[in-house]
Amino acid sequence: MIRFLTAGESHGPALTAIIEGFPANLPLTALDIQRDLDRRRQGYGRGGRMKIEGDQVTILSGVRGGLTLGSPIALQIENKDWERWSQVMSVEKLETPETVTIAADQRLSQIAATVTKPRPGHADLAGALKYGHQDLRNILERASARETAMRVAVGAVARKLLGEFGIEVFSGVLQIGKAVATEVPEDLAVYRFNVANSPVATPDPAAAEAMINQIDQAKERGDSLGGVIEVLASGIPVGLGSHVHWDRRLDARLTAALMSIPAIKGVEIGLGFQVAGLFGSEVHDQIYYSQERNFYRQTNNAGGIEGGISNGELIRIRLAMKPIPTLYQPLQTVDLQTKEVVSASVERSDVCAVPAAAVVAEAMACWVLADAFLENFSGSTLADVHNYYTEYQKRVTAQ
């Protein structure tokens, strides 16, 4: 089993992670991780923070000479914005200034150092009540989606392992606001090409302009937008996950990991909620066999998972992301200290982060799939894992 922990606040000195359980001799460099971090910083609708942060990752341990050692891997991403926040976010007790000067949308503005006006839809109020804080910054700094930068770094390590066995994980944006992708290519190569060349990471080029218009309208009114993300995984072998316990089911593990991403409010696999209105004969994928393909299906309504186990087909998952709760035209709330009705606090934020969230979703899917993969084919070295995987594939195809 592999595991990871992240630490760090949005405006603290750095984000860090410790990863444990990867086999020795897996090729890994900072560049392998940096590619996904650079993708997370992109996407139409991002805010001023991404112009400050380069999200440069440093591997601190667990890798030597470009190969993993089998020991814990430590990663770090410095927060460049820490310079402005060093007094506010100091570990030592210092006098806190009333405001901090930040760069937002090509201008400087003031933001409150101490926060008492909780934002509807954020962890601000629930977290403060749970942990007994009078300053909401003690909650929002960790609840911030800034933490997902480190998740992307961790997921990139998992992606590197999956790639050794021909497994690829990618994503596309299917909806932003009311703009919906209706012409989604079935050819996965075309799908990925379109996403890579779209400012909103959609596989439907015809929908991109409408999505951009939705984001522009939201920005003009000081609002925010969510959308729908699709995550796909190809090359998945039969047998990841298990039916024997609730917490070993692959679909349960994937949906839990994806729901843990800030602002994700729904996850569905395959046909998802559509199955509620269909007959069983319209839902279940008929099974076929040939010597060339072994067991296979001509449809994939199950989304690549049956009974909590991968069935060898393409895994297809969709996520619903709510609009970001920080609004530049803030909603009504109640001040934590005075109990007066006020406008919610305003923190620097994105108008729309759906394309960035898609990269985070890939990372979490990569992590779960790598975990399930090593659960089936564990070994102390990458060569051991290859041997176990090869023998397993021989057995499965011989049945």
Low-confidence ranges of the chain (pLDDT < 70): 47-51, 102-109
Domain boundaries, the chain: 3-398
**Is 338:252 a contact under the CB 8 Å cutoff?**
no
Structure tokens at 340: 């007066």
The sign of the dihedral angle between the CA atoms of 154, 44, 318, 197 is negative
pLDDT at residue 104, as a whole number: 57
The sign of the dihedral angle between the CA atoms of 259, 208, 351, 39 is positive
The sign of the dihedral angle between the CA atoms of 110, 114, 117, 119 is positive
Instruction: Name the burial class of residue 276, with classes exposed (0-12), middle (13-18) and buried (19+) by CB atoms within 10 angstroms of its CB.
Output: exposed
The predicted-structure confidence for 382-393, as pLDDT tens digits, reads as follows 999 999 999 999
The predicted-structure confidence for 180-198, as pLDDT tens digits, reads as follows 999 999 999 999 999 999 9
pLDDT at residue 48, as a whole number: 63
Q: How far apart are CA 211 and CA 177, in angstroms?
A: 7
pLDDT at residue 108, as a whole number: 54
The sign of the dihedral angle between the CA atoms of 247, 251, 253, 256 is negative
Q: Fill in the amino acid letter for 60.
A: L
261 conformational bin, left if phi > 0, alpha if psi -120 to 50, beta if neither: beta
pLDDT at residue 215, as a whole number: 96
Q: pTM for the whole thing?
A: 0.94
* Centroid of chain to Cα 350: 16
**Is 121:347 a contact under the CB 8 Å cutoff?**
no
Q: How far apart are CA 399 and CA 389, in angstroms?
A: 16
CATH 3.40.1710.10 for the 3-398 domain, yes or no: no
